[in-house]
Amino acid sequence: MKIGRVAGTVVSTISAPIFNGRKLLLCDIVTPQGEPTGDYTIAADTIDAGVGDTVLILDEGSSARQIVGQTVAPIRAMVVGIVDEIDIG
Amino acid sequence: MKLGRVIGTVVATEKTPDLEGVKFLIVQMLDKHQQPSGDPVVAADGVYMAGPGELVYVVGSREAAQAMPNPFVPVDHAIVGIVDEVSLA
């Protein structure tokens, strides 16, 4: 998983059926210190995250399919947690 | 998943049989501000309605094939949605 920060939302009417009714979040990938890496991903929301939240981003297909409860679905990136705190020892 | 802009189409008559009926589009990958970022890719149209000029989002790797009716096609990028709107905070 990666750490991201929700930068915005993506609205799509015409999409693969698995995305129907799912909120898509555009997330900057950040370092553990919270600095933007310059990379981003569009991830489906599972936990009602919002703009500005630091989030955990899953980017792996079979785990994503497990979350959506489908064996075949073109979905990979999902926001699976809202980060409260990161402590780097 | 990332944003992309459809910039063209690809027609290939001779191809591996599993790719019969798959529509291929050339997609310029974009950064979150919709500026070109990286090389264009050839992506299968998983929504059957994408065309040149459209802003789309693209899934890569194994999940791309799962956007297609036959999920075992040899496809590594697929358009899984047409973007209506991107809002950044």
The H or E element that residue B15 is part of is none
Q: Test B86 with A43 for CB contact under 8 angstroms.
A: no
Cα–chain center distance at A59: 8
Judged against a pLDDT cut of 90, whether residue B49 lies above it is answered with yes
* pLDDT surpassing 90 at residue B71: no
Judged by CB atoms closer than 8 Å, whether chains meet at A42 and B80 is answered as: no
C-alpha B71/C-alpha A16 separation (Å) is 13
pLDDT at A7 over 90: yes
Q: Which pLDDT band, with edges at 50, 70 and 90, does B72 fall under?
A: confident
CATH number at residue A30: 2.40.50.220
Report which DSSP code applies to B43: E
Residue B39 to residue B41: CA distance in whole angstroms: 6
Across residues A11-34, what is the average pLDDT?
A: 96
Separation of first and last alpha carbons in chain B: 19
Residue A64 resides in a domain: yes
In a domain, A89, yes or no: no
Distance CA B42, CA B33 (A): 21
Q: Is the residue at A68 inside a domain?
A: yes
Which candidate from A41, A52, A61 shows the least CB-CB separation from B63? Answer: A61
What distance in Å separates residue B28's CA from the closest CA in chain A? Answer: 15
In a domain, A88, yes or no: no
**Quick check: is A30 in a domain?**
yes
pTM for the full predicted model: 0.91
DSSP assignment of A27-72: EEEE-TTS-EEEEEEEEEESS---TT-EEEEEE-HHHHHHHHT-SS
Residue A12 lies in a domain: yes
Residue type, A44: A
* Interface mutation target, options B6, B32, B58, chain A, most CBs of A under 10 Å: B32
DSSP 8-state class, residue A19: G
pLDDT tens for residues B27-47?
999 999 999 999 999 999 999
Asked if the structure places residue A35 within a domain, the reply is yes
The answer to whether the CB atoms of A8 and B67 lie below 8 A apart is no
Residues of A in contact with B88 (CB under 8 A): 7-8, 26
Question: CB distance from B13 to chain A under 8 Å?
Answer: no
45-84 of B, contacting A, C-beta below 8 A: 46-47, 49, 57, 59-67, 71, 78, 80-84
Interface predicted TM-score (ipTM): 0.87
The rounded mean pLDDT for chain B is 94
Nearest-Å Rg of the Cα atoms of chain A is 13
Range of the domain at A57: 2-82
Q: How many domains are contained in chain A? A: 1
**A87 domain residue, yes or no:** no
